[in-house]
Structure 1
Amino acid sequence: MAQAPAEPKTPRATMRADKWLWHARFFKTRGLAAKVISGGHLRVNAAKVHKPAQSVGPGDVLTFPQGRRIRVVKVLGLSARRGPASEAQTLYEDLSPPSDPAPAAPRYEGKGRPSGKDRRNARLFDPSQLE
């Protein structure tokens, strides 16, 4: 019995991790993306990565810090350029858990900043009256 010749596998399309993060607009510069990766703060499919030249491609799941959040994204595609944000959003699927909104800033008795009248009244108040 003769076996059919093995079909050659087409190589998987990949891109450098720092370049992909920059193209997908997670970082303002490619250098910042490289710094995060070099610091050991990127995981590709749950494995820590320390080299910005790590290859990533469609289907990979990336985990990295961005600001005060931990981002978890699935790579859906690659791009040839760093295009507009609408184009960049088609490169990934966001798997990050929703973050809690930041608490509102404390207010002065619910009225905001004290008015001039409030400040004048405060100057008239004599602390010795409490004793």
Structure 2
Amino acid sequence: DYEAFERFIRQRGAQYEWSAPLEKNEIEIDESQIQIEAIESLDALRPFGPGFEMPVFKISKPAIKNLYDFQNARHRRYTLQSGVCCMRFNQPRSEISKSVNRIQCFEGELQISEYRGRKQASFMIDKIVYD
């Protein structure tokens, strides 16, 4: 029923603020938008693949509360003021000594982590842009 589908999309779309992507495949988000329900809603856009790539999400000026290095500083977990966990796996050695105050943005993807039956929304960092 195309008409019902169109009404549904228009009704749900009116609830969101839309803005043009910064680049072809990049969407800027606020850390408050990193929630399980929002990440699960991305499943409606699947399957991702050639010609229909998963968007890259960008958090500008992340408010970093603390960070934790593990496995001999190969990986780093940033916790934002909102409580959102941002993970950087296999960080380059050149990033270890850089100040978090110089971070302009995180680029990566949204993910739901599950541990002992507890789900948590997280941000997987692919790239960190410094000033």
Q: TM-score, normalised by structure 2?
A: 0.25
The structure carrying a bigger strand percent of its residues is: 2
